[in-house]
Amino acid sequence: MSDEKFDIPEELASATLPTLLTAESTIRFCCHKGISCFNDCCRAADITLAPYDVLRLQRRLGMNSEQFLKNHTVPFQLERDGVPGIKLRTDDEGACLFLDPENGCTVYEDRPTVCRYYPVGLLAMRRKDSSVAEQQYSLVVEEHCKGHEEDRELTVAEYRKEQGVEEYDDFNREWYELILKKRSGGPGVGKPNEMSLQLFFMASFNFDMFRKFVLSDNFKRTYDLPQQTYDELAQNDEALIKFGYRFMRQVLFAEMTIPEQKDAWDRRVQERKPVWQARAEAEIARRNAEMEKAMREETLGEECNTDSCGDRD
């Protein structure tokens, strides 16, 4: 693997790149309730959430999107252009809020992807000459973790199956690819505007709001989709997530993944004309005021930049 060139996520681009593993690589690890370090990793939790993680936890807790995001997440920037992400909220000492000190994880069956993979790290990387992201893995070895000393060996593929990550990866893969494409695209992709960032957050994490958005009359007037698609999006959360990936490709990269109504652009121009005109008039007024101020200062002196200076004899 050492001769292959990859686009690597920024936070992994360090002088010491972790040893890359494949699905067939063998690791030695076992975590169980009787181990001396049980729950230590959860007492210093730094868990980034992907869309399917949010959906599973939201369902588990019986919360709507707004409740879950408010009570159990904190925002952060996924990359330098401000693309938004979220992490699991912790207590003041950094412990996961879902940790029971005696029994461990209270949402174990619906725990996030990062928790399922530990101590394996999932790396979504892309060869320099390829447009397709590849999954690679690394082994995280922390001093407090005694699971590496247990007498059990298995392949990464066997560990992934045991931990139930395949379903999570299937739903999150396209989202990871969006992030990787944004990072590796550099200036050529461009910095998303504030509206694009808000749409990205909504489609990635606030499913209730995103559902209302795509089922709105305005959305239907803009995009040319069959009623069957709207019916599925109204009922099926997983379908909504995957539709969100299509929508984000259109928003972030101008890929025409969702067909628009034939007259959508013309209507959009007509609807925005009053806004554009108001902005143009405001800009003209601002420039005129600056020119007037500059002329007054040049004529009367810098200290006389108020209307009172005009009363001089």
Q: What pLDDT digit, counting tens, does each position of 82-135 carry?
A: 889 999 999 999 999 999 988 899 999 999 999 999 999 888 666 666 556 677
pLDDT attached to residue 216:
96
**Which among 53, 54, 88, 60 is positioned nearest to 72, based on CA atoms?**
88
In whole angstroms, give the CA distance from residue 39 to residue 178: 33
The pTM for the full model equals 0.77
> Can you tell me whether residue 268 is helix, strand or coil?
helix
Query: pLDDT for 216-243, tens place per residue?
Result: 999 999 999 999 999 999 999 999 999 9
pLDDT attached to residue 11:
40
pLDDT above 90 as % of the chain? 57
Over the chain, what is the mean pLDDT?
Answer: 84
- Separation in Å, CA 227 to CA 192, 206, 230: 30, 23, 5
Does the pLDDT value for residue 5 go beyond 60? no
> Can you tell me whether residue 249 is helix, strand or coil?
helix
Residue 309 pLDDT level (bands cut at 50, 70, 90): low
Query: pLDDT for 7-41, tens place per residue?
Result: 434 443 333 446 789 999 999 999 998 999 999 99
Query: pLDDT for 153-207, tens place per residue?
Result: 999 999 999 999 999 999 999 999 898 888 776 555 567 888 999 999 999 999 9
Residue 6 pLDDT level (bands cut at 50, 70, 90): very low
Q: Can you read off the two tokens belonging to residue 215?
A: 């089922």
**Which among 163, 145, 148 is positioned nearest to 40, based on CA atoms?**
145
Q: Can you read off the two tokens belonging to residue 17?
A: 């790149």
